[in-house]
């Protein structure tokens, strides 16, 4: 087993942070039907003046001068000890199914691994299994989302090259986020996933919790969700409200971006045929040949720049936005699991209070009287009942102590992971937005220069034709 180094990063844990009020207050308010108006309104300055084509719009004057209030904490390069790469997808066709496997290359200096390098092949369902096991082992840690199981937005064929590459990048990102996590990266199932051969992994999967155990957990979760939580800590109420609002905004932005990418691709398909038409026309119009060729060259350059802009949207901005749409679903699930734990604790405390009240009730209550009617000594029946209740109360106290420890650990884990998630979210969105803005500035500068650059006219009419055409 051998492999190559893969890019990864390790972010140090930091204490939990409160939710900044200004971030949720500044989120975009997008209407369901008019969301595209955000991108179609005339560009104006903050003082109401319209945008002038002659204004300076260089990257240095617009993007590079923009600074965020919070600087990202610098990571210690020496702390990295787990590097993972997902690459080299291969298609497999059997009589039953068709699927894709990806090469997972791991390099590590961790002592718990038997070797420093591994190379295995994994399919999507293996990644899905790993994520499920991580959530089972750490129910209130935020496990990075996987791409959807079936066809993603904009993908017509399930296994076309674009789909496979989009999924490969998402799987690579997923594993590296896990590798960066100080707790999840030490999970035993992750180690098996990265190092075991296919038959070993299949054997390990069978050792998971049985059906009855999973059924019991599901029943308890449903019961807890029905009961609800009576006294959820205020900080988790704030997180819940933030996630709901964040989810709405990210869903709107994701939908808008997908629509823009689709329309831009359709525009590109039409533009691709535009320049050759002018070139063909120039061959049949001797006096207009030069200006027509100039228009064709101009359109060809515009096509190339537009293609780069669309690539930026589809490869950078759209995946990041969609990733955080999926992340909000993960956050909601984590909050539900935390609430289920608290609801179970509250139910046990209510049961304990009921048992104590029953133990301290009047000994002449109906149960003891009924025992006496059956010929049993009332005092003996009362003592037996007291002993039974005392034993049940002791067992409940032990369960409650364990649940209190579990809830406290879960709360602390979620608060710490919430802070880590916020830092990653801000960094990812910052990079995506700034790089997209930079690409837009470059695009409009180059297109503006292309449009305004006068051709080399042989006739006065040529310049007018180009100007009218553009």
Report yes or no on 411 lying in a domain. yes
Q: Do residues 261 and 318 touch, judged by C-beta distance below 8 A? A: yes
Q: Are residues 171 and 31 in the same domain?
A: yes
Report yes or no on 210 lying in a domain. no
- Stated length of the chain: 470
Mean local confidence (pLDDT), 284-303: 86
Please give the pLDDT value at position 32: 40
Per-residue pLDDT of 128-184, as tens digits, reads 999 999 999 999 999 999 988 754 444 445 567 888 888 999 999 999 999 999 999
Q: Are residues 244 and 135 in the same domain?
A: no
Q: Are residues 310 and 428 in the same domain?
A: yes
Q: Are residues 181 and 249 in the same domain?
A: no
Please give the pLDDT value at position 63: 39
Q: Band the pLDDT of 35: cuts 50, 70, 90.
A: very low
At how many degrees (to 10) do helices 289-312 and 460-469 cross? 30
Chain-centroid distance, C-alpha 95: 34
CA distance 332 to 245: 12
* CATH code of the domain covering residue 448: 1.20.1270.60
Domain count within the chain: 2
Q: Are residues 268 and 181 in the same domain?
A: no
Report yes or no on 213 lying in a domain. no
| Residue 236 reports pLDDT greater than 70 | yes
Please give the pLDDT value at position 408: 93
Q: How many CB atoms lie within 10 A of CB 186?
A: 12
| Residue 44 reports pLDDT greater than 60 | no
CA distance 369 to 386: 15
Give the 3-state secondary structure of residue 108: strand
Residue 309, CA distances (Å) to 75, 233, 354 in order:
31, 46, 66
Q: Are residues 360 and 464 in the same domain?
A: yes
Report yes or no on 61 lying in a domain. no
Please give the pLDDT value at position 364: 56
Please give the pLDDT value at position 279: 85
Mean pLDDT of the residues in the chain: 76
- CA angle in degrees (0–180, nearest 5) for 197-202-204: 95
Q: Are residues 89 and 197 in the same domain?
A: yes
Query: Please, how many CA atoms are within 13 Å of residue 438, restricted to the half-sphere of its CB?
Result: 15
CA distance 315 to 139: 31
Report yes or no on 28 lying in a domain. yes
Q: Are residues 199 and 258 in the same domain?
A: no
Report yes or no on 304 lying in a domain. yes
Please give the pLDDT value at position 373: 54
Q: Domain range for residue 253?
A: 229-470
364 class by beta-carbon count within 10 Å (0-12 exposed, 13-18 middle, 19+ buried): exposed
Q: Are residues 198 and 266 in the same domain?
A: no
Please give the pLDDT value at position 84: 95
* CATH code of the domain covering residue 112: 3.30.1520.10
Q: Are residues 201 and 234 in the same domain?
A: no
Q: How many CB atoms lie within 10 A of CB 193?
A: 23
Per-residue pLDDT of 408-436, as tens digits, reads 999 999 999 999 999 999 999 999 999 99
| Residue 23 reports pLDDT greater than 90 | no
Report yes or no on 67 lying in a domain. no
* Domain endpoint, select from 160, 189, 205: 205
Per-residue pLDDT of 179-225, as tens digits, reads 999 999 999 999 999 999 989 999 888 886 654 445 455 545 555 55
Mean local confidence (pLDDT), 286-296: 86
Residue 443, CA distances (Å) to 158, 301, 318 in order:
32, 11, 18
CA distance 332 to 324: 12
pTM for this model (two decimals): 0.70
Please give the pLDDT value at position 67: 38
Q: How many CB atoms lie within 10 A of CB 329?
A: 12
313 class by beta-carbon count within 10 Å (0-12 exposed, 13-18 middle, 19+ buried): buried
* Domain endpoint, select from 205, 237, 258: 205
Mean local confidence (pLDDT), 69-83: 58
CA distance 213 to 211: 5
Q: Are residues 98 and 134 in the same domain?
A: yes
Q: Are residues 346 and 441 in the same domain?
A: yes
* Domain endpoint, select from 135, 170, 205: 205
159 class by beta-carbon count within 10 Å (0-12 exposed, 13-18 middle, 19+ buried): middle
């Amino acid at each position: 087993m051998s492999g190559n180094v893969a890019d990864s990063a390790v972010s140090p844990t930091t204490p939990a942070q409160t939710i900044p009020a200004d971030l949720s207050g500044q989120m975009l308010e997008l209407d369901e039907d008019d969301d595209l108006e955000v991108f179609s309104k005339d560009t104006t300055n903050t003082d109401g003046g319209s945008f002038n084509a002659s204004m300076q719009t260089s990257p240095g004057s617009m993007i590079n001068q923009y600074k965020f209030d919070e600087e990202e904490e610098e990571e210690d390069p020496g702390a990295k000890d787990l590097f993972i790469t997902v690459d080299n997808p291969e298609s497999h066709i059997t009589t039953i199914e068709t699927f894709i496997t990806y090469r997972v290359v791991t390099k590590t200096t961790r002592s718990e691994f038997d070797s420093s390098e591994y190379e295995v092949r994994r399919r999507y369902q293996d990644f899905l299994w790993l994520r499920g096991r991580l959530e089972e082992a750490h129910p209130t840690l935020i496990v990075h989302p996987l791409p959807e199981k079936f066809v993603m937005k904009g993908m017509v064929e399930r296994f076309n090259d674009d789909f496979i590459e989009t999924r490969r990048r998402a799987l690579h990102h997923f594993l590296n986020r896990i590798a960066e996590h100080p707790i999840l990266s030490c999970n035993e199932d992750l180690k098996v996933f990265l190092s075991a051969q296919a038959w070993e992994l299949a054997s390990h999967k069978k050792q998971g919790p049985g059906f009855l155990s999973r059924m019991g957990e599901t029943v308890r979760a449903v019961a807890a969700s029905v009961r609800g939580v009576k006294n959820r800590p205020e900080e988790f109420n704030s997180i819940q409200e933030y996630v709901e609002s964040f989810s709405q905004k990210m869903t709107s932005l994701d939908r808008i971006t997908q629509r823009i990418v689709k329309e831009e691709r359709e525009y590109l398909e039409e533009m691709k045929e535009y320049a050759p038409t002018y070139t063909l026309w120039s061959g049949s119009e001797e006096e207009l040949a030069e200006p027509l060729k100039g228009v064709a060259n101009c359109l060809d350059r515009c096509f190339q720049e537009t293609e780069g802009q669309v690539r930026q949207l589809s490869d950078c901005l759209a995946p990041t936005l969609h990733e955080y749409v999926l992340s909000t679903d993960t956050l909601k699930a984590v909050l539900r699991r935390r609430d289920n734990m608290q609801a179970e604790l509250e139910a046990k405390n209510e049961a304990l209070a009921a048992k104590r009240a029953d133990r301290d009730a009047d000994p002449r209550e109906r149960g003891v009287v009924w025992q006496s009617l059956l010929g049993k000594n009332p005092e003996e029946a009362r003592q037996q009942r007291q002993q039974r209740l005392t034993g049940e109360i002791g067992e409940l106290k032990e369960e409650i102590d364990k649940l209190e420890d579990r809830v406290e650990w879960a709360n602390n884990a979620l608060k710490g992971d919430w802070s880590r998630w916020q830092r990653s979210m801000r960094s990812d969105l910052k990079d995506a937005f700034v790089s997209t803005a930079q690409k837009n500035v470059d695009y409009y500068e180059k297109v503006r220069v292309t449009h305004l650059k006068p051709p080399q006219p042989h006739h006065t009419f040529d310049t007018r034709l180009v100007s009218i055409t553009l």
